[in-house]
Structure 1
Amino acid sequence: MSELQHPTATSSLTTWLSYLESIHTSAIDLGLERVAAVADRAQLTKPAPIVITVAGTNGKGTTCALLESILQHAGYRTGVYSSPHLIHYNERVRIDGKWLDDAAHSKAFATIEKVRGETSLSFFEFGTLAALQLFKQHALDVVILEVGLGGRLDATNVVEHDVSVITSLALDHCDWLGDDINQIGYEKAGIFRADKPAVCGQPSPPASVAAHADSIGAELHQLGYQYHYTLTDDTWCWAAGAFELTALPIPAIPLQNAATALMALGVADLEIADTHISDGLASVSVPGRMQVVAKAPYTVFDVAHNPHAAAYLAEKLAECKAERGGHVHAVVAMLSDKDMAGTLACLDGIVDHWYPASLSVPRGAPADSLPVSASQQFASPSEAYQQALKYAEPARDCVVVFGSFHTVGQVMSELN
């Protein structure tokens, strides 16, 4: 048989990824029985002394990045698992803030392939187990896991984690999680653990979150109750009970997520000084999340792909527009199963010129299905981006590329 059917530890990463895409009946297959069985056999359910698992509709990646940044400044060895990637699969696993080479991933895949036997695994399940294998090999202090979809039935939930985090709650992935916010809250709260701390950064979350915490005896720390934050001109303050941090640097991520990360660290029983927190806040950055890639014209890449994220993007673009006094040019491409109308409506009155593009990936939406008013449609996000740059006035205008990880990833890949 060919290498594609039977890759080995020395096979290329591309070969392995093609193989993983072909061995399971569906790309998404929620449920823990199969992945838990393999995780148990491989002894992967506790990849580090401290494990923090982060769920949420939006804000998972930025919260994980800030946790990582502060912990590294505090001298801890860290591992981060996040998804999806923008350009390279290697982005999904970071050890001490760095990607691993292709060979390391291939070896980890080979280990999981040997252990799984006849157990079928989805692409995400296989990748999650391989990430846990890599963390185990590196003898880390803290592992940070970003949930892929939901929480309760996500592959990351096979791990015995110490702190559970929900960053935000909104409607998304309705085909899998339903269109009831209480049900979504229950699914995400499914990562909570009995007698362990859980943090929720969603203001006024659905009642299902606290109800589930109460039912299993999780120690819930809720934004607005157990912890708070306030913005004060060019700094911000954070408080939990009588403990307060003042004059904190404003990070390049939403403050709601930053405050939630601080609460997670506060209940994780780790030694972290105030200076580590300030240094971590000042240095955190996340590709594709309000990422400023150019100043003339002011250009932002953001993976916002649902109304909740688009509302935050609209707020930031309005600030940019008011400050620069020019127009906003928006390059957008989306997946067809997203709430395209709701997402794009959030930017009504903010965007002056639309550049809708087709997304040539599975579930990608054609440009003519995007509900925006535009004089031209484009075959790809990269083509649309070049046109936006052509028409944007460098000194005054803003350009934004958004709508999907695929959209931002394609444009970033072209630039690289």
Structure 2
Amino acid sequence: MTPPDKTLDKTLDQWLAYCEQLHPKAIDLGLERVKAVAQRLGLAFACPIITVAGTNGKGSTCAMLEAILLQAGYRTGLFTSPHLVHFEERCRIRGEMVDATDLIAAFDRVERARGQNGDEISLTYFEFTTLAILQLLAESGLDVVILEVGLGGRLDAVNLLDTDCAVITSIDLDHMEFLGNDRESIGREKAGIMRAGKPVIVSDPMPPQSIVEHAAQVGADLWRFGHDFNFSGDKQQWGWAGRGRRYAGLAYPALRGANQLVNAAGVLAALTALRDRLPITAQAVRNGLSMVALPGRFQIVPGQPTLVLDVAHNPHSVAALAENLDAMGFYPCTHAVFGAMADKDLAPMLVRVSPLIDKWYFTDLPTARAASAESLKSRWAALQTRNDVSASTWQSPEQALQAAVKAATPADRIVVFGSFYTVGGILKDGVPRLVAPHLAG
């Protein structure tokens, strides 16, 4: 297969399309191939690495780490996945989204290394793009790098690098075809990011025993929520206490949601564990938590009706979304735009949030992995016990949202959830500002 012509007029989209065709499998977990290409690249970091794994809360944890470290004056690098709209969202350097031109140059270097001396190594889309972003980060003169695991941990491409501090967020059932059918199996895969003698922050209040056992087996320095660190307080003011350090009088993080204090507690534990290498002031913590932003995580968009965007896509995150929606108070009618992958555990997701939803707008998504809108509607109907609820199907999240806005009154609420593709479909033209037709003109 011929790579994109390496001239200045070739685009990032052309490189991404090329990467999608390089390997027979979309997901092929394992580190042998990606390590071999990394060695050819001479990939190495001279700064501390923080690696974040887990089922839910990874994105929020990474965003809070970045925000606090930036406020402390550090030159940060951040790699996250997937993206909502633009691929460039996956890489941030010193708080700014990377430029496509820099990514294209990094893609070219990976391609040359992949085919070095005619000995071509096959890489998946995620492996190729991860190597390109890591190479870009390694060349950027950074003080600290934050890496979000894409899938699992032990065999994820990010795990080719030895972390200086591992963070494991909440563990729940997701990607079971790759990671196992229970929390213990999934926890064991996440635990693979631990390293001997290095701190591992476990912010799940009830972690699988496999995580605790693996920390002991490899000799990692285990920091457990409720044992080595904890928080107290509420949305008005909260405090944190850990090994040899306390923070008091903290404002609630700028990210919404009842689960954010658990994520923030893990973040402060990680920064405390690394304080000898990355000293942080209390003011940097306060400023960072007050300024952190992350699109699509219980994001409430200004306008009428109220619009909530959330990438919740598994039973645990949908349960958190339901709690957050319930805490918002009364709305005459709640409309839901929902699109999801076919391999998700849909029944508990739909059952948990259904009592809060009055009108459903099921949508197709632009990926072969997605369940069709009609399939989602059928699954929902089979579980439905209410007779005061309506449902319709749409070809895209944008069309579904337009229908919801048209049907809603200014006092209503619309929630968009189920997948990064669902929320990304709404955000691709910028953050929407809604005014119900009843108020327009």
3-state SS, counterpart of residue 208 of structure 1: helix
- Alpha carbons 2:235, 2:251 under 8 Å: kept: no
Match of 2:372 in 1: 366
The alpha carbon displacement at 1:233 in A equals 4.8
Q: Which moved more, 1:196-205 or 1:226-235?
A: 226-235
Match of 2:334 in 1: 328
Match of 1:234 in 2: 236
TM (norm. structure 1) is 0.95
The alpha carbon displacement at 1:242 in A equals 4.9
Q: 1:400 aligns with which of 397, 415, 420?
A: 415
Q: 2:218 aligns with which of 213, 216, 219?
A: 216
The alpha carbon displacement at 1:221 in A equals 0.3
TM alignment of 1:6-155, pairs within 5 A: 6-8=4-6, 10=8, 11-44=10-43, 46-117=44-115, 118-155=120-157
The alpha carbon displacement at 1:294 in A equals 2.3
TM alignment of 1:158-173, pairs within 5 A: 158-173=160-175
3-state SS, counterpart of residue 287 of structure 1: coil
Provide the rounded CA distance (Å) in 1 between the counterparts of 2:334 and 2:24.
43
The alpha carbon displacement at 1:325 in A equals 3.8
Task: List per-residue Cα deviations over 1:45-80 (Å, max 9, x = no partner).
Answer: x32411000000011111000000000000000000
Task: List per-residue Cα deviations over 1:88-124 (Å, max 9, x = no partner).
Answer: 1100110011112211111000011111221111111
Q: 1:51 to 1:90 in 2, by over 3 A?
A: same
Match of 1:287 in 2: 295
Task: State the AA in 2 paired with 1:271.
Answer: P
Provide the rounded CA distance (Å) in 2 between the counterparts of 1:233 and 1:75.
27
Task: List per-residue Cα deviations over 1:313-332 (Å, max 9, x = no partner).
Answer: 00111111x2x443221110
Provide the rounded CA distance (Å) in 2 between the counterparts of 1:19 and 1:301.
31
Match of 1:188 in 2: 190
Q: 1:135 to 1:9 in 2, by over 3 A?
A: farther
Number of positions where the alignment pairs a residue of Structure 1 with one of Structure 2: 410
Match of 1:311 in 2: 319
RMSD value over aligned CA atoms? 1.5
Provide the rounded CA distance (Å) in 2 between the counterparts of 1:138 and 1:381.
37
Match of 1:274 in 2: 282
Task: List per-residue Cα deviations over 1:262-307 (Å, max 9, x = no partner).
Answer: 1111111311100000000000010111112223211111100001
Task: State the AA in 1 paired with 2:294.
Answer: V
Task: List per-residue Cα deviations over 1:149-180 (Å, max 9, x = no partner).
Answer: 00000000001210001011000001111112
- Alpha carbons 1:227, 1:239 under 8 Å: kept: yes
Q: Which moved more, 1:405-414 or 1:239-248?
A: 239-248
Match of 1:302 in 2: 310
Provide the rounded CA distance (Å) in 1 between the counterparts of 2:430 and 2:91.
23
Q: 2:395 aligns with which of 379, 388, 392?
A: 379
3-state SS, counterpart of residue 348 of structure 1: helix
Provide the rounded CA distance (Å) in 2 between the counterparts of 1:140 and 1:241.
27
3-state SS, counterpart of residue 68 of structure 1: helix
Provide the rounded CA distance (Å) in 2 between the counterparts of 1:184 and 1:29.
17
Provide the rounded CA distance (Å) in 2 between the counterparts of 1:79 and 1:325.
41
Provide the rounded CA distance (Å) in 1 between the counterparts of 2:63 and 2:235.
24
3-state SS, counterpart of residue 394 of structure 2: coil
Provide the rounded CA distance (Å) in 2 between the counterparts of 1:193 and 1:415.
40
- Alpha carbons 2:4, 2:14 under 8 Å: kept: no
Q: What are structure 2's unaligned runs of at least 5 residues?
A: 382-389, 432-441
Q: Which moved more, 1:73-82 or 1:267-276?
A: 267-276
Percent identity at matched positions? 47
Task: State the AA in 2 paired with 1:220.
Answer: L
Q: Which moved more, 1:234-243 or 1:154-163?
A: 234-243
- Alpha carbons 2:64, 2:289 under 8 Å: kept: yes
- Alpha carbons 1:382, 1:411 under 8 Å: kept: yes
Provide the rounded CA distance (Å) in 2 between the counterparts of 1:266 and 1:275.
14
- Alpha carbons 2:245, 2:272 under 8 Å: kept: no
Provide the rounded CA distance (Å) in 2 between the counterparts of 1:228 and 1:145.
24
- Alpha carbons 2:331, 2:413 under 8 Å: kept: no
3-state SS, counterpart of residue 190 of structure 1: helix
Q: What are structure 1's unaligned runs of at least 5 residues?
A: none
Task: List per-residue Cα deviations over 1:234-281 (Å, max 9, x = no partner).
Answer: 111111145221111111331111111111111113111000000000
Provide the rounded CA distance (Å) in 1 between the counterparts of 2:332 and 2:45.
50
